[in-house]
Amino acid sequence: MKNKIKILLALSLAVSTVISGCSTKTKQAVAANNTVINSNTSQSSDNENTNSENNLPNPSGDNTDKNNPTENIPPPPEKSNTQSDPTPKPAAPVNVSNTASLDTKRIGWSWAYSPKSSASLLSKYHGYAFGDTSKKIIYLTFDEGYEYGYTPSILDTLKANNVHAAFFVTAPYIVGSFNGIKNSDLLKRMTNEGHVIGNHSVHHKSMPDFTDENTFNAELTGVEAAAAKVPGVKLSKNFRPPMGDFSELSLYYTQKLGYKTIFFSLAYKDYDVNNQPDPEKSKEFLLQSTKPGMICLLHAESKTNATILDSLLKEWKKQGYEFKSLDEL
């Protein structure tokens, strides 16, 4: 009997030792796995932070390599497992008694991301780079500085895919024409087909340069006056500052006129009609750079955009994205 008891005690001790060893290994494995997770998270954050403005194309079109159209397409930004909204919800309209207290320093926008350092400023003065980043939504916009014959095709494609977009126009665009087709007729069609028409200023200059309020206001009200002369065309209270340039003062002036300032979270060098980027590479870049809630800027004078738009819209829809109006921001 004593021998059986000794044997049972020995077996119990052996089992206890094995279990203890397994527990220790499990704890070690968990600790090692956490180290890997933390390391990957840190690397993802570092990759996101390296996406500086200096590595992206200049919205003004300077330093473009006109001998190589593919140089117009920047590398896709680093993917991140999380998508934070750099533009908090706007507060109530701000009233400033002394505008001398507002900063006039020009802040340049970038092409593929929204500078988080300006997030509070945008929120304060009703500026947007993103919409709802929690859902697969795209706010599609086109800038119309001048016509090159591609807007009718773009409108056909949008209609065929049941997608509504926003078109930002200058005053010269409103009164202009191309090959005998008046741009005002295109604007009427945009309105009739449910698109938003936004304000892109009269002279397409850097808005922070207009520190005098009356001169600044004339850049927006001049577009309003031109649009008012086109029967059936409604200009929205959405303003896109040329080149994406802004200052605290320019944001304040814009908001004071009742406008939202619409920036963009995705764009590329598509505007040079003599140096159009490769269609397939452009489409690949846009798809790889797509993020929930993004405001996408395309130029309507781009042959490349007119070429890829149908397949681009279909692929976005295939990926589960839907399109919303800027009026819903």
H-only helix segments in 167-302:
171-175, 183-192, 213-228, 248-256, 279-288
164 catalytic per annotation? no
Distance CA 126, CA 316 (A): 28
Query: 165, 134 in Cβ contact below 8 A?
Result: no
Query: 150, 302 in Cβ contact below 8 A?
Result: yes
143 catalytic per annotation? yes
- Out of 204, 272, 299, 310, pick the active-site residue: 299
Backbone angles phi, psi at 168, to 5 degrees: -95, 120
Query: 321, 293 in Cβ contact below 8 A?
Result: no
Q: Is residue 131 exposed (0-12), middle (13-18) or buried (19+ Cβ within 10 Å)? A: buried
- Out of 143, 164, 195, 270, pick the active-site residue: 143
Amino acid, res. 51: N
Residue indicated by tokens 């929690």: 134
Quick one: CA dihedral 206, 212, 216, 218, positive or negative? negative
The residues assigned a catalytic role are 143, 299
